[in-house]
């Protein structure tokens, strides 16, 4: 099994509803991952979704291995390990997640 510990980034650029969804994440919460191969900034982009909201991305340094697995048909599981924190509508702490596949 392959595992990568990482965070969800870019939440500060998402709409208010996405940041609000971020506050509802708890340890053990599953985050849905979706590939975005047409992303103009990152060919390996992976979106993170929770409660129907696109809440951010897997960071660029962590996403190539996960993206290649997803592109080959693997469905990784992403679980919150430490919740993030929003202070006054701004992301103070990014949520930590663990992505695993190949069980």
Whether pLDDT at 25 is above 80: yes
Total domains, the chain: 1
Question: What DSSP designation does 28 have?
Answer: T
Whether pLDDT at 90 is above 90: no
Whether pLDDT at 103 is above 80: no
Distance CA 46, CA 33 (A): 6
- The CATH number of residue 93's host domain is 3.30.70.2330
Give residue 36's domain range.
Answer: 2-101
CA angle 66, 25, 18 (to 5 degrees): 80
Other Cβ atoms closer than 10 A to 80: 20
What's the whole-number mean pLDDT along residues 66-90? 94
Average pLDDT, the chain: 94
């Amino acid at each position: 099994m392959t595992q990568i510990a990482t965070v969800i980034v870019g939440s500060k650029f998402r709409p208010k509803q996405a940041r609000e969804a971020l506050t509802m994440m708890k340890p053990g919460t599953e985050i849905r991952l979706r590939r975005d191969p047409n992303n103009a900034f990152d060919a390996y982009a992976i979106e993170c979704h929770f409660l129907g909201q696109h809440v951010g991305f897997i960071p660029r340094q962590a996403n190539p291995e996960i993206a290649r697995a997803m592109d080959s048909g693997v469905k990784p599981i992403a679980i919150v390990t430490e919740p993030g924190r929003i202070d006054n509508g701004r992301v103070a702490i990014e949520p930590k997640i663990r992505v695993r596949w190949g069980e």
